[in-house]
Amino acid sequence: MALLTIGLNHTTAPVDLREQVAFDAETLPDALARLRTAVPGVRESAILSTCNRTELFLAVDSIESVEIEAWLAHYHRVDAETLKPHLYRFDQLRAAQHMMRVAAGLDSLVLGEPQIMGQFKDAIRSARDAKAMGTELESAFAKVLSVAKRVRTETAIGRNPVSVAYASVVLAGRIFSDLGQCQVALVGAGETIQLVAEHLLEQGVTRLDVINRTLANAEVLAAAIGGHAYPLDGLSDAICRADIVISSTGSLVPILGKGAVERALKVRRYKPMFMVDLAVPRDIEPEVGDLEAVYLYTVDDLEAVIQEGKASRLEAAAEAERLIDAALDDWQRELRGYRAVDTIRMLREDVQQVAEAESQRALRLLESGKSPEEAIQQLARQLTNKFLHGPTVALRSAAERGDLSLLEAANRLFDLSETEEKP
């Protein structure tokens, strides 16, 4: 199996480039289908696309000949030379190690954040639904998820939750002295916004509006948190009431522009407004940050806040890395074992053929009147000669050439005890 991972993340690319190469749920099946037909050598594929990363996991015929970078740039209509410096590429065990670190939350913007495990599983599910996966990636992902689960259960990496959602709430608490007095507008109803809502409730926030394109989803979340639900066309009115706006939708274009926020500020008499855009592509136009009384942050701006929560997880992360290293050692031994399968099979077939032929010869000796003792002795001699002829010739030839490595290998292979040479 040739395993290959290509991608970019929050450490290698800015948010404006990440949003250009992001895959949304609607276009993902098409992307997976095109990837397999447009790039020779790609047998299986899966794509993980979140606000912080876009990664392609592939089973390929030849790592050297697969040109995924060019396909990714072409698919998203991004200049290949602009994209290339921001991409990383891992193969074989390094690809497996990277996948394990991603699934375990060790490569996340927030160390140990739990959402990535669900996003990883969603990527696998999407690839299965698109029939883009086979036995090679299925086997790899099974190992990856097994290790990630062990990291979650056997280390403290998931304790003291810190995430982009939590960092948003922490930052809001630095702008407003009492979050319990703030009106909050949550735009979106997905997992990230749900986590934001949970953290806000923990901080005593009670006035919550949920605005979402699908009103039914907004109503479900609003009911769970004691808030009010509105359709997306109610966003302009909602931000007029909001001290805090936190947005995370799957929209491909901004849903909140500078003009709408300017109107809201006038209604609010320029009372400060704290806004966090957690979406990639962005939900809020960057120009909104130029307005007075608006504090606009993106996922990249949360880095400093997030760093404060990493210290408590570093020890657990080191332990998680050891678990991954051990799993990779097991995986490597397994891969090495696969290389011996064909050789062992052919050896057994050859030996079996010789054994069957000599058994028939021994039976014929018995039928001709030879004694059992004589037939058995003949069988033993023939088997010994047939089995050892090839190895004997090869060892003698190697010794004559001065190739002692084959002699040493034979000693190890057959567990031969060395004897002193006699004069």
Catalytic center residues: 51
Nearest to 149 by CA among 118, 124, 127, 123: 118
Q: In whole angstroms, what is the distance from residue 165 CA to residue 228 CA?
A: 20
Helix (H) or strand (E) holding 20: helix 15-20
Sign of CA dihedral 394, 397, 398, 399: positive
Neighbours of 241 (CB within 10 A): 14
Order of strands across the sheet with 88-91? 42-49, 53-60, 2-9, 88-91
Nearest to 76 by CA among 123, 12, 27: 27
Angle at 84 between CA 67 and CA 164, to 5 degrees: 115
DSSP state of 53: E
If DSSP codes are grouped into helix, strand and coil, which group holds residue 4?
strand
Neighbours of 310 (CB within 10 A): 13
Distances (CA, A) of 130 to 47, 356, 383: 11, 49, 55
Amino acid in the structure at residue 103: A
- CA 275 from chain centre, in angstroms, equals 30
Nearest to 187 by CA among 289, 275, 317, 285: 275
Neighbours of 111 (CB within 10 A): 21
Helix (H) or strand (E) holding 92: helix 92-103
Cβ(261)–Cβ(288) below 8 Å: yes
Determine how β-strand 2-9 pairs with β-strand 88-91.
Answer: antiparallel
